[in-house]
Amino acid sequence: MSPCETCVVRNRAICAGLHDREIHALSMMGRRRSVAAGEPLIWEDDDSLLVANVIEGVLKLTTSTGDGREQIVGVAYPSDFIGRPFGQTSRASVVALTDARVCVFARNDFDRFAREHPELEHKLLERTLAELDRSRAWMMLLGRKTAPEKLATFLLDMADRFGDPACSTALVPARRFTLPFSRQQVADLLGLTIETVSRQFTRLKADGVIDLPSRRDVEVIDRSALEALAG
Amino acid sequence: MSPCETCVVRNRAICAGLHDREIHALSMMGRRRSVAAGEPLIWEDDDSLLVANVIEGVLKLTTSTGDGREQIVGVAYPSDFIGRPFGQTSRASVVALTDARVCVFARNDFDRFAREHPELEHKLLERTLAELDRSRAWMMLLGRKTAPEKLATFLLDMADRFGDPACSTALVPARRFTLPFSRQQVADLLGLTIETVSRQFTRLKADGVIDLPSRRDVEVIDRSALEALAG
DNA sequence: CGGAGGATTGAAGGCTATCAAAGTCCGTGG
DNA sequence: CCACGGACTTTGATAGCCTTCAATCCTCCG
């Protein structure tokens, strides 16, 4: 029996909508892999040439300058697609933030399969377009927002990410959630230093906008204040 | 006779590779349009719902905050695709930087046509992936680079963009080129103010790294110095 | 020649980075 | 149960880069 049949992201990942026969063919090409928190899956400028679906856990995509400065350029959650199909080698490292499980494919195999299955390519296109939208919104944040605006925007983003898709189409943002990021990683997302991030967290808490039950937990007390701060 | 047959970007835009019959069908759905420098083609959060190919000229994609700060999140050159197919409304304005000519389609028409033509969707996917790569590299620049590094990176980017694809595969970067951007627009690209951009230009010129024959012209005198500065 | 928009230059201030130290949390082992 | 070590976080003081505010300059055109 193919492991895909019981896959928890079966209906959300790009595999969704493929017929049983196709799923089976795909599962023959791929294999599952665990990645421990902190462990890399792909290195920057790597030529290991693999792509993957995230089954469980959270991973970061990062780029670095020669002298070690780091910027997180993307975050992959369960059902997200990782890697760079078609031609180019990815210019980003992928590292697990939490223990994670992924479903990996050799890029060549995946490329060939995708070209033969337009429905899969269409799903990939929709995802890539959505990711491009997100990265453009983040460019706005990185280029033009102040530190307080950056953190407020980030927290609203997280609240949405961990919200419940409750009644039909509407998404209810989470009031309380656990960050998959350390303070340093939040800094690398927002283009700030860890000290500035810490100060902004402290300030939001002091102002009664959020509460911080523990290092990684956030409770949104005054969402409209956050929205006003987000710019 | 379809205007596509004489289109200058016929072999580079996403239309490349379509059969004559398909090109004809596409050309029935689209229409050509001129956009004067400074004139908008799409407004942020617009629901005009159109997509386009750039035939001639350069356009900017921008997002803005409520209080008027602007960030350029993309630049479209001839043969580039503009707009957001499939579902979402684009969250970016598109404004012509130079007089431009584009080939526009109603988004619904284009979506339907694309779904029926996997080869077109594949081209679109490759483009979108490349654009995502570019926007991630830009996130690194916006989040982590200093003003001198930003300008050096930008100038190298421009030199490549306006370089000649000479012998076979290699691209020879341009030594001299004309910017399609004002100083303010360079600032909006780099996440800086116009004054800082101006100071960095002046500094590079004073250091003998570049020459500035006129406001919009740049001559790269010491490329390796630029590369060293780019970080 | 004069005006207008864009670009450059200058001076001052603020926001964020940097450097440094203290504090907190958590797992380990006595 | 508590002491200890280490990583992560917070806090403080200072410095510096870039912005802001303001004035001047250039260049193109009417």
SS3 B194: helix
Contact by Cβ (8 Å): A60, A82: no
**Residue A90 has what pLDDT?**
75
**Residue A18 has what pLDDT?**
87
Minimal CA separation from A1 to chain B, in Å: 31
Q: Is B16 near chain A, with CB under 8 Å? A: no
Which of the listed ranges A5-9, A22-26, A68-72 does the model predict with the highest average pLDDT? A68-72
Q: What percent of chain A has pLDDT over 90?
A: 81
**This prediction's pTM:** 0.95
Q: Which residues of A128-163 are buried (b: 16+ CB within 10 A; e: fewer)?
A: bbebbbbbbbbbbbbbbbebbbbbbbbbbbbbeebe
Of the candidate CATH numbers 3.40.30.10, 2.60.120.10, 2.60.120.590, 3.40.50.280, the domain formed by A3-134 belongs to 2.60.120.10
The structure tokens 């031609």 sit at: A87
Contact by Cβ (8 Å): B149, B200: no
pLDDT in tens, B194-223: 999 999 999 999 999 999 999 999 999 999
Q: From edge to edge, which strands make up the β-sheet containing B176-178?
A: B176-178, B217-220, B210-214
Mean pLDDT (chain B, rounded): 94
Pick from A18-27, A51-60, A114-123, A193-202: least confident: A18-27
Mean pLDDT value across residues A104-109: 95
Minimal CA separation from A69 to chain B, in Å: 7
- The closest alpha carbon to B12, from B92, B100, B93, B103, belongs to B103
A194: CB within 7 A of chain D nucleic strand? yes
pLDDT at A166 over 90: no
A73 vs B70, B124, B140: nearest CB = B140
Q: Which residues of B touch A86 (CB under 8 A)?
A: 125-126, 129
pLDDT at A60 over 70: yes
- The closest alpha carbon to A174, from A184, A182, A164, A183, belongs to A164
Which class in CATH covers the domain with range B146-230? mainly alpha
pLDDT in tens, B76-85: 999 999 999 9
B184: CB within 7 A of chain C nucleic strand? yes
pLDDT at A1 over 70: no
Q: Which residues of A touch B92 (CB under 8 A)?
A: 136
A121 vs B85, B122, B136: nearest CB = B122
Domain parsing of chain B, residue ranges = 3-134, 146-230
Q: Which of residues 17-36 of A touch strand D (CB under 7 A)?
A: none
pLDDT at B10 over 70: yes
Q: Which residues of A touch B122 (CB under 8 A)?
A: 115, 121
Distance CA B153, CA B91 (A): 26
